[in-house]
Amino acid sequence: MEMDLPKEATKEEMKKVVLRKADNVILNLKKAWEARPADLSDEDEKHLLQAMEAAKRLRDEISAKFDGEGKIG
């Protein structure tokens, strides 16, 4: 498994890696949306959209925590 952070990481290094991972989740959810089957139920489409929205909110919350707008941990 690839190590993304040195053993002693700075706050900025941690923020960069964590936000990159969050961006990857959002990107993969967008790709799933674009590749969804035509017969996907309305309920499943709704859940996929909700997952994308939740991932974006989580990314924003993570960024805010690293920027000092809340405690980390």
What DSSP line would sit under 31-66, residue for residue? Answer: HHHHT--TT--HHHHHHHHHHHHHHHHHHHHHHHHH
User: Can you state the angle between helices 11-34 and 42-66, rounded to 10 degrees?
Assistant: 170
**How does pLDDT run across 10-57, given as a tens digit for each residue?**
889 999 999 999 999 999 999 999 999 999 999 999 999 999 999 999
The pLDDT of residue 24: 98
For 65-72, the CB contacts below 8 A with 24+ separation are 66/11, 66/14, 66/15, 66/18, 66/19
Provide the residue ranges of all domains of the chain, joining segments of one domain with +: 14-33+45-65
